[in-house]
Amino acid sequence: MDLLQTLLATLVALGVLVTIHEWGHFWVARRCGVKVLRFSVGFGRPLWMRKGRDGTEYAVAAIPLGGYVRMLDEREGDVPESMRDKAFNNKSVYQRIAIVAAGPLVNLIFAVLAYAFLFLSGISVVVPVIGEITPGSPAARAAVPVEQEVLAVDGREVQSWNEINLRLASHVGETGNIELTVGEPARGMARSYTVPIDQWQVDLERESPLTALGITPWRPEIPPVIGQLLPDGAATAAGLQSGDRILAVDGEPVQDWVALVKIIQASPERQLEVLIERQGQEQSLLLTPARRQLQDGAVQGYIGAGVAEFEFPPEMQRTLSYGPVDALVAGVEKTGQMITLTLESIGKMIAGVISVKNLSGPITIAKVAGTSAASGLESFVSFLAYLSVSLGVLNLLPIPMLDGGHLLYYVVELVRGRPVSEQVQMLGLRVGMALLFSLMALAIVNDLARLF
């Protein structure tokens, strides 16, 4: 069932985003008088196809990792004299720019509307109260206090841990200061703390910017009760079941889930005697955590089990909800923030500040799609919005083969007064294909490394 849910969530996510992207090209092309020959969601052999009254073929193809809009074009075949005015290559450079830019821009507009929908319907978040400060961390050196709420980062108001992490992420690789405003709003108390950073590195595979800064969010005591289990995980092999409460490990009582995780992580490939409570009865099991190696070479144990659902106290939760206009404004701001973060991350990856190991491919996208779908509509819509921003921004990069590469050629044409030569475009196409296939291969390798 988990695999089926992941596949369905992935197909829905990619299907929605690819369709709206190609629809953007299609809609503007039609408005510019270009004859569209085929509108395809997916590549390869069509699984379904029909011809519309407008003469356009509409298809769903076998490989769901993209799509295309095929337009009448003299560079791709003979065009009857009577149809030459409907060929893409015979349109003005401004019309060609509009057609090519429409796909990525529609993705960004979709993200705005998706975020606006979430803000309009209300987003449930945890109040960002600091639980612990890691000794020796940047936050500890700045004497950031615990049990107080983070109110602003660099002078910008924040209301959730997600907002805080996004603000902090923009500082990865930088040297300077991060300003945190912390206090107790109910008592009218607030104070700013200057957190110094020096070429701040964050291993995004293992930690968030928040934990790298040394801040652990406040959490209620989480009962050590097993929730979801991986079918082929060590926990399942040992006989653990959803709902089991862990009472002790090797005779030592387990107080909460965090304590259990620390024990598991410190015990790779070491047999543990686990005392559990199941349906009111106590029993012992032998559990041997599997072993995995982290990027820094450290070894960690894991058992393939998640914690059972638990609830935060009502006073530690808040709902972010806006009216229609404010929700749309918030959607624009959120999309702008995600665009900026995406571009900054690409720049830092090129500069070597962020490891290329953070590149993700289709396997990771599928896993996140399945997880977000299982978490509910809010998480899935948020994932769609983020993925749509990524698709829009990446397609606008000036790389031949992508929409941004074509836009670059058309801008050069505007400046020079004549089109870029076919030879230069073919050379760019080869370079672009080599670059994109290399990046895709690297992303898939990273996916497989995370998986195994």
Q: Which of 416, 406, 295 is nearest to 355 (CA)?
A: 295
Q: Is pLDDT of 119 > 80?
A: yes
Cα-to-chain-centroid distance, residue 217: 21
Q: pTM of this prediction?
A: 0.80
Provide the angle, in degrees to the nearest 10, between the axes of the packed helices 93-121 and 2-31: 140
How much is the average pLDDT of 314-325? 89
Q: Which of 374, 400, 373 is nearest to 387 (CA)?
A: 373
Helix ranges (H only) for 351-451 are 362-375, 377-395, 403-416, 422-451
pLDDT of residue 1: 43
Residues 410 and 93: beta-carbon distance below 8 Å: yes
Q: Is pLDDT of 258 > 90?
A: no
Q: β-pairing, 272-278 with 290-293?
A: unpaired
Q: CA separation (Å) from 356 to 192, 383, 395?
A: 34, 22, 19
For 277, the token pair is 């409570």
pLDDT of residue 205: 66
How much is the average pLDDT of 324-328? 95
How much is the average pLDDT of 425-450? 81
pLDDT of residue 440: 79
At 449, phi and psi to the nearest 5? Answer: -65, -40
pLDDT of residue 445: 79
Q: Which pLDDT tens digit goes with each residue over 164-181? A: 998 998 888 888 999 999
* 380, burial (CB in 10 Å: exposed 0-12, middle 13-18, buried 19+): buried
Task: Give catalytic residues, as residue numbers.
Answer: 22
> Higher-confidence residue: 99 or 258?
99
Q: Is pLDDT of 418 > 70?
A: yes
The per-residue b/e assignment along 123-152, b for 16 or more CB within 10 angstroms, e otherwise, is beeebbbbeebeeebbbbebebeeebbbbb
pLDDT of residue 351: 76
Beta bridge partners of 124: 319
At 298, phi and psi to the nearest 5? Answer: -70, 155
Residue 262: what residue type?
A: K
- For 170-225, give the DSSP string: TTTT--EEEEEEEEEGGGTEEEEEEEEESS----TTT--HHHHHTEEE--PPPP-B
pLDDT of residue 250: 92
> Sorting pLDDT into bands at 50, 70 and 90, what band is 374?
low
**Other Cβ atoms within 10 Å of 87 Cβ, number:** 20
Q: Domains of the chain by range and CATH?
A: 2-32+91-121+385-451 (no CATH), 124-220 (2.30.42.10), 226-311 (2.30.42.10)
For 86, the token pair is 């409907």
* 360, burial (CB in 10 Å: exposed 0-12, middle 13-18, buried 19+): middle
- For 33-91, give the DSSP string: TPPEEEEEEEEEEEEEEEE-TTS-EEEEEEEEEEEEEEE--GGGS---GGGGGGSGGGS
